[in-house]
Structure 1
Amino acid sequence: MRKIGIMGGTFDPIHIGHLIAAETAWEHGNLDEVWFIPTADPPLKETTPSTLAADRYEMTRLAVVGNDRFRAVDVEIKRGGVSYSIDTVKQLQGQHPACSFSYIIGSDRINDLPKWNRIQELADIVDFIGLERPGDKPRLDQLPPYLQRSLRMVEMPQIGISSTAIRMRLLEGAALRYWVPEPVRDYIRRHELYGSTTHHGAGPG
């Protein structure tokens, strides 16, 4: 049975930090592949994505081209509506019965796990790979026992890059080189996403 890591998120836009996190989970979680699944409508975020789902999926697809261990999957975007992880996992299990699934989650979100929809049901059918960043230690002892049993922590380097910071850089006309993969930077420039134009941040810098 192939072991698949699920990396969900808005990916608005996807950036180098996401890819390093996925590579870390792949290496330490004994995964065969990592599937990047952009959300249609994230349930626990206060703001809606800045770009269309089709653009976020295409940037994700471009970001993983060339890595045969990574795959972009549009299952939540095709389903539409609020993206609940339990629904996604059940759909993937039905479509890929020869695969087992692990959820990859950053340490900043681990203590939100009890708020996830039908979380105990989800924990019964997947395990969680928690990515612990330096200086960001989750309160594991405050998690319910069923989550503590299904969670495996791995260390990852501190990457001071966020999608929010990237969007701000574009609004300020700053360069994106090395913040996002080159195909993603080119896509942002061509489609003038996040207030960018071909004359500033998403362009040559």
Structure 2
Amino acid sequence: MKRVGLMGGTFDPIHIGHLLAAETAREQCGLDEVWFIPSRTPPLKSGAPSASGEDRLEMVRLAIAGHPAFKALDLELRRPGISYSIDTVHELSARCPGCSFAYIIGGDRVNDLPRWHRIDELAASVAFIGVSRPGHPVDIGSLPESLRGRVRIIPMPQLDISSSAIRALRREGRSVRYLVPDGVHDFIVRKGLYGS
């Protein structure tokens, strides 16, 4: 059975912290592949993404180019409405019955798991890999008992990088080079994304 890590999110923009989390989870959890899935409308974030779905997908493709175990999927961008993980898992399970899935999420999102749409059904279908993030302590004990055994916390090198900070730097006219892969940086500059 192929073990696949799923990384969902707005990726507005994707940055080296996302890539490091994916690679760390791939290595530490024995994943065969990691699939990046930009969301159309994230359920737990207010406001629409700054960049279009097409641009966010292209930045993901640029960021993962050359990594044989990384893949970009557009299924949430094609599906109308809110991008619920349970709908994504149902679609992927039908497409790839020989795969087992684990969501890779930031440590800051582990504590939010009880708020995820149809979380009990989702947790019965996938595992969760929580990667530690600076300033976001994870308390597995605070999760409902049904979720505790479905979450594995893994350490990763600590980088305090976020997409919102990258957008803020761009609005201020400052460089985001080295916070995002070179191809993503060039795309952001060429398209004038996140500027004032």
TM-score of the aligned structures, taking structure 1 as reference length: 0.93
For 1:180 and 1:134, the matched residues in 2 are separated by: 18
Which residue of structure 1 lines up, in the alignment, with residue 54 of structure 2? 54
Q: Give aligned-pair identity as a percent.
A: 57
Q: Unmatched 5+ residue regions in structure 2?
A: none
In structure 2, the CA distance between the partners of 1:188 and 1:99, relative to structure 1 (3 Å rule), is: same
Q: In 1, Cα distance between the equivalents of 2:2 and 2:106?
A: 23
Q: Establish whether residue 76 from structure 1 lines up as the match of residue 73 from structure 2.
A: no
**2-structure distance, mates of 1:134, 1:195:** 27
Q: CA RMSD in A?
A: 1.1
Q: Which amino acid aligns with 1:165?
A: A
Q: Which residue of 1 aligns with 2:139?
A: 139
- In the alignment, what sits opposite 2:18? 18
User: Counterpart in 2 of 1:178?
Assistant: 178
Counterpart AA for 1:131: V
Question: What TM-score, normalized by structure 2, do the two folds share?
Answer: 0.97
Q: Which amino acid aligns with 2:21?
A: A
Does the 8 A contact of 2:133 with 2:160 survive in 1? no
Taking a change above 3 Å as real, the CA distance of residues 169 and 35 of structure 1, as seen in their structure-2 partners, is: same
In 2 relative to 1, CA 166–135 (structure 1 residues): closer, same or farther, beyond 3 Å? closer
Letter in 2 for 1:154: I
Aligned residue in 1 for 2:154: 154
What CA distance in whole angstroms lies between the structure 2 residues aligned with 1:10 and 1:134? Answer: 20
User: What is the CA deviation profile of residues 21-53 of structure 1, one whole-angstrom value per residue up to 9, with x for unaligned ones?
Assistant: 111110111100110100000000012101111
Q: Which amino acid aligns with 1:44?
A: L
Instruction: Give the Å deviation of 1:135.
Output: 4.9
Offset at 1:118? 0.4
**Partners in 2 of 1:74 and 1:119 — Cα distance?**
22
Q: Deviations over 1:89-124 (max 9, x none)?
A: 010000111111001111111111001000000000
